[in-house]
Amino acid sequence: MIIYNVTVKVDHDVAEEWLEWMRQVHIPDVMATGYFESYKLLHLYGHDDHQGITYAIQYTCKDLDTLARYQETEAPRLQREHAERFKDKYVAFRTILEEV
């Protein structure tokens, strides 16, 4: 099982809007692509929240080929929508994990 982890630090002034948009729009759009089997939306505790609130979204898929197809076909559009909506109000990085 592969976990596609997206960690995002969101500015305080848009944190509530961002969280609602993620729950209502972005995550459902990602899941609707059919590449992922499940997801978790997590808040990172013990992280420095002075400059923003940090979240991790973990999407699970069956293998690296599935993730690669998502990254080639759907990710650019979905990431662009996120960037256009929240512009300079966040920073994000992505990691790929394998369940062992």
The radius of gyration of the chain's CA atoms, rounded to the nearest angstrom, is 13
pLDDT confidence tier of residue 49, bands split at 50, 70 and 90: confident
* Chain-centre distance for alpha carbon 100: 22
51 band by pLDDT with thresholds 50, 70 and 90: confident
Q: What does the pLDDT read at residue 50?
A: 79
Q: Is the pLDDT of residue 47 over 70?
A: no
Rounded mean pLDDT, 14-27: 98
* Mean predicted lDDT score pLDDT of the chain: 96
pTM metric for this prediction: 0.93
Q: For residues 96 and 67, what is the distance between their CA atoms, to the nearest angstrom? A: 9
Domains of the chain: 2-98 (3.30.70.100)
